[in-house]
Structure 1
Amino acid sequence: MHDACRATEFQTEFETVKCLETRSLLTYSDITRDGRVSMMSGSGKKVVTTRWWWVRHAPVRNDGGNIYGQSDIACDTSDTYVFNAVAKVLPRHAVWYSSNLMRTHQTAEAIWAAGFPKPASMKWEADLAEQNLGKWQGMNRAEFVASRPVGTSWFADINEPAPGGESFMDLYNRTRRTIERINNEAAGQDIIAVAHGGTIKAAVGLALGDLPEQGLAFDIDNVSVTRLDYFASPERSVWRLPMVNQQPWIADDAHAAMHQPAGPEVKKLA
């Protein structure tokens, strides 16, 4: 009975899949008992669903108002209400990944401390780190934003590298390579990836159809959850975006302090 209910749930969910406003023709067929999700297309070929649960790290409070990029700086995980809420929505039996920077590790530890079963391991992926902003790191954020063209949605044009650092496209390309590799390594599983605002925006751009600049249009708040589902078959693959920047704690106004810009923000256009 339990498996039948799960089948109904996944069928309902999957049959509403849209990717870039195109309705998927794939339908639910089977769910294996080890937690991997597999389906069959209309032609009878297996479709494997890999679900990414991205979590942005907790807020950095000791940056002095400066740009920190890839600086290995600690974050504030003191708001247990927030982590309790996030721990409740993440899937058990997932494989865990993070960047190599301590703020992602501290965020994961806070989720586990909130009652989420600690996994046996969490893989560190340097290519999921925030953009290397080179000489811009350490500069006053407000002054930097004021120096950029009106309407700028990131630190610079996506192809412009920071002096001594990376461009957003550099970040996007390494993030895409890592996602594609993990999609093969952990095919059919739930993946929890604790990462950074820029990294998650890059992942959203990939899911939108390899449109990196479009990912920059999304806010990614601290400790927010973004879920991206990858459907793969021998014939084709599609992405679905069930939720972006989900904040399970926002029912309580007392916990509205998780908004820390993942890059310059547009406050006004003129």
Structure 2
Amino acid sequence: MVGWSDLPADLGDTAQVARLSAHLPAGALVISSDLVRSVATADAICGDRQRLPHDRDLREMSFGDWELKTSAEITETHPELSRAFWTDPGETRPPAGESWTELTARTSAAVARLMRAHPGRDIVAVAHIGVILAQVAVATGQPAREVIGQKIDNLSVTELSWDGTGWTLGRINHLP
């Protein structure tokens, strides 16, 4: 479980980084969480796009005491809580961490703030799996338990569009 630990990004596939950068809208604004893996990825794909300051509210879920532990370790120490975390993730919180509901509220506030500050602009948010899935859940109206298993690869694109009244989910986990 890697949440707020500041681990580096693996950007060794320079061809994939270049394809991703070329795929993104030319006039988009680029923002990332303040964690080094997002910052480095955003910097690598930014190109000539305007780079916005890092946003702490775009961080991955805080896994608290489960941070950097394996599923087996978590299951051993918290068998019922770990099962509830995956089967009913809404309000279930790792010890000293945050729930999916809290993650969604935090990241949705960041998205709303960005949209107010940059109306009508394309925004490329270099974010984490939990952040992406939380926003997919918001866009589709699905509960976290239905989107939690969706695969999100590194250097993939998930497209969410706002039409002024609601979200539309485009491609998810697209690898350019």
**Correspondence 1:239-254 to 2 at 5 A:** 239-248=167-176
Structure 1 spans left out of the alignment, 5+ residues: 1-66, 249-270
The letter for the 2-side match of 1:171 is L
**Residue pair 1:172, 1:212 contacting (<8 A) in 2 also:** no
Q: In the alignment, which residue of structure 1 is the partner of 2:63?
A: 133
Distance 1:241 1:145, change over 3 A: farther
Q: Compare the two structures and name the one with the higher helix fraction.
A: 2
Report if aligned partners of 1:205, 1:213 keep a CA contact under 8 Å in 2: no
Post-superposition shift, 1:189?
Answer: 0.9
Match of 2:93 in 1: 161
- Counterpart selection for 2:34 from 74, 97, 100: 100
Change (3 A) 1:118 1:238: closer
- Higher radius of gyration, 1 or 2: 1
Matched with 1:207 is 139
Residue 75 of structure 1 deviates from its aligned partner by: 1.5
Query: Does 1:221 pair with 2:153?
Result: yes
Looking at secondary structure, tell me which structure has more strand per residue. 1
RMSD, aligned α-carbons: 2.2
Provide the residue aligned with 2:104 in structure 1. Answer: 172
Cα 1:153–1:84 change in 2 (3 A) is: farther
Does 2:1 correspond to 1:70?
no
How many percent of aligned residue pairs carry the same amino acid? 33
Q: How does 1:22-171 map to 2 (within 5 A)?
A: 67-112=1-46, 116-119=47-50, 121-144=51-74, 147=79, 148-149=82-83, 154=86, 157-171=89-103
Deviation, 1:238, is 1.7
- 1:211 Cα deviation from its structure 2 partner: 3.9
What SS class does the counterpart of residue 164 from structure 1 fall into?
coil
Question: Deviation string for 1:185-230 (max 9, x for gaps)?
Answer: 2111100000100000011111113744433242111111011000
TM-score with structure 2 length normalisation?
0.87
Q: Which amino acid aligns with 1:230?
A: W
Q: 2:128: which partner in 1?
A: 196
Task: Quote the offset at 1:103 in angstroms.
Answer: 0.4
Amino acid at match of 1:175: T
Question: 8 Å contact 1:176–1:203 — kept in the other structure?
Answer: yes
Instruction: Give the structure-1-normalised TM-score.
Output: 0.58
| Matched residue count | 172
Q: Which amino acid aligns with 1:246?
A: H
Provide Cα deviations, 1:89-110, integer angstroms capped at 9, x if missing partner. 1011111211111100111122
